[in-house]
């Protein structure tokens, strides 16, 4: 595990260290909290163990076949895991690149932060504070433990709370994001809340899977993904409409579908398959589902 992250500023996170944790806002949120409290899939833990960045999102970019080596090699599974993890971290790099210019004194908000891999990477890149929220107490504890191990707990913190009602001041955040977490909430409510916590001129970024209005309606593969994760995938049209309604003006809409397919095709050959690989591959190939990045300015 790489524990080499350092932080050089002395500013402390401003919110109180302990917050009262209200119950879930809806029965559905209770289900999602339980889902992530109970999640321990090897595909996520083994990849995170590579360097201590634990992600719950997918990868992008070309597979480096030279890094995989000979499939008969005794180390081949380890190399494959490292390669899948590299592609997942590359996904976060692209999200962070789209946040724009972030200073060390800025605060960023990770809505639906999972085990905190993206938060650590954001702090490493910008030196700033990063506040995350998740419904899962287990995930928040995990993320805070990692921050402590890295001695960045004064800059990186996860709290258990609803991303539709975040414990941040109006205009507090220079930038905020959802990394594969917006399919658990109503988009109008979500973007109203991001718009509130973002400063005017701030940047919002999402990387998400969305169904393609050009296909017509959600395909059977999209329905299968929803059932697998207990989520509700929105359409691309819904994202753009809800942003427009909430003072978030798209600056970039990038179709990452071709860039994520190599990750899925590699993952399908691994011993860590979970059974959802074909649904992603088939829906990306039949055009019913798209992996997109949307970066928007808070105006
Ligand atoms: C697929 S994981 C993504 C985690 C993280 N963004 C990453 O890239 O590793 C989805 C996350 O969304 C969170 N989530 C779902 N609904 C939420 C809500 N209403 N409020 C806060 N977090 C929520 C879950 O707790 C989980 O951490
Ligand atoms: C793009 C879409 C529709 C994402 C749905 C949200 C989700 C569950 C993301 C991956 O989490 P994970 O890393 O825990 O999943 P897995 O165990 O499959 O790697
Ligand atoms: Mg995963």
Give residue-wise pLDDT tens across range 165-212.
999 999 999 999 999 999 999 999 999 999 999 999 999 999 999 999
CA of 190 to the centre of ligand 3 (A): 23
Give dist(CA 30, CA 51) in Å, integer: 31
pLDDT at residue number 13: 60
Which atom number of ligand 2 is nearest to the Cα of residue 291?
A: 1
Please give the DSSP secondary-structure letter assigned to residue 235. Answer: B
Tally Cβ neighbours within 10 Å of residue 120: 24
Tokens 């500023």 belong to residue: 9
Which residue range forms the structural domain that includes residue 93? 27-298
The CATH number of residue 257's host domain is 3.40.50.150
- Domain assignment present for residue 13? The answer is no
- Domain assignment present for residue 5? The answer is no
pLDDT at 5 over 70: no
Nearest ligand to the CA of 32 is: 1
Q: What share of the chain has pLDDT > 90, as a percent?
A: 90
pLDDT at 16 over 60: no
Report pLDDT digits (tens) over 109-141. 999 999 999 999 999 999 999 999 999 999 999
Report pLDDT digits (tens) over 53-92. 999 999 999 999 999 988 888 899 999 999 999 999 999 9
Number of domains the chain contains:
1
Taking a 5 Å cut-off on Cβ, the residues next to ion ligand 3 are 44
pLDDT at residue number 6: 37
Pairing of strands 289-298, 198-211: antiparallel
Instruction: HSE, CB side, 13 Å, CA atoms: give it for residue 137.
Output: 9
- Angle separating helix axes 277-286 and 220-229, nearest 10 degrees: 150
Question: Cα 173 to chain center, whole Å?
Answer: 17
pLDDT at residue number 21: 62
- Domain assignment present for residue 1? The answer is no
Q: For the chain, what is the radius of gyration of the CA atoms? A: 18
- Domain assignment present for residue 6? The answer is no
Give the pLDDT band (50/70/90) at residue 294: very high
């Amino acid at each position: 595990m790489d524990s080499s992250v350092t932080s050089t500023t002395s500013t402390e996170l401003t919110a109180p260290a302990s917050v009262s944790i209200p119950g879930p806002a809806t029965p559905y949120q209770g289900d999602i909290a339980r889902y992530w409290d109970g999640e321990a899939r090897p595909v996520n833990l083994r990849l995170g163990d590579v360097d201590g960045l634990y992600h719950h999102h997918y990868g992008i970019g070309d597979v480096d076949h030279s890094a995989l080596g000979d499939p008969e090699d005794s180390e081949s599974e380890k190399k494959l895991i490292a390669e899948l993890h590299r592609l997942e971290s590359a996904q976060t790099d692209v999200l962070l690149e789209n946040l724009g210019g972030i200073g060390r004194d800025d605060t960023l908000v990770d809505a639906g932060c999972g085990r905190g891999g993206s938060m650590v990477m954001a702090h490493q890149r910008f030196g700033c504070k990063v506040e995350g929220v998740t419904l899962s107490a287990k995930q928040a504890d995990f993320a805070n433990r990692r921050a402590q191990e890295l001695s960045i707990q004064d800059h990186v913190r996860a709290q258990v709370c609803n991303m539709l009602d975040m414990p941040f001041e109006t205009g507090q955040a220079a930038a905020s994001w959802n990394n594969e977490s917006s399919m658990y909430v109503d988009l109008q409510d979500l973007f109203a809340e991001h718009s509130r916590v973002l400063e005017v001129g701030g940047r919002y970024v999402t990387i998400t899977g969305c169904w393609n209005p050009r296909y017509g309606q959600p395909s059977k593969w999209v329905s299968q993904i929803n059932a697998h994760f207990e989520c509700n995938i929105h359409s691309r049209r819904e994202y753009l409409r809800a942003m427009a309604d909430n003072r978030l003006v798209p600056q970039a809409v990038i179709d990452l579908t071709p860039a994520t397919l190599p990750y899925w095709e590699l993952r399908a050959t691994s011993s860590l398959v979970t059974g959802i690989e074909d649904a992603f591959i088939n829906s990306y190939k039949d055009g019913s589902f798209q992996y997109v990045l949307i970066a928007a300015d808070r105006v």
